[in-house]
Structure 1
Amino acid sequence: MSRLRTSALRGALLGLALAAAAPALADDTPTTAGAVDRLKGLGNEAIGSAKRGVGNLTDDEDLKAEGRAQKLRGQAQQEKGKAKDTVENALDK
């Protein structure tokens, strides 16, 4: 595949992935502090998975690595949100 075509495919697929993740991140009305981190984590996981997929399609090792890293950041963000919720629930008792 030509470099220009690969670049166009990569941009189009990343644009679709970002558009799909945007509605989940657009709602700024969560009820708990942890919910914000969990939502952001889900978004980062989705975008990371999309980047990794595009990297696989285009044989772009840098994009695959970036996707793996972003997905791991998203997982860590979700765990942080769960921990915040646990602390908040314990304090409410």
Structure 2
Amino acid sequence: MTDQSVLLARQPIYDTQQNLFAYELLFRPEDKGDMPDFDGNIATSRVLLNAFTEGDIEKISGGLPAFINFTKELLLSPPHLIQSIS
């Protein structure tokens, strides 16, 4: 894995009554110029890695559910998750 800073963003998800329901966790490179260089598999892998190793997921999500987008490839071939961040 390359040594670069990654920012973890969260986007609110609201229910039909406009109450905060959950957050979607998003990948953001610290250097915004790097964004085109990342594919969805790497972005998802980094979100998972950072959400569960760099911080407290309960604190990150405020105790609410946290959603993460997965690519079809990661869902069908989970070992790619480990390969894409190595």
TM norm structure 2? 0.32
Higher strand share: 2
TM norm structure 1? 0.30
> Which protein shows a greater Rg?
1
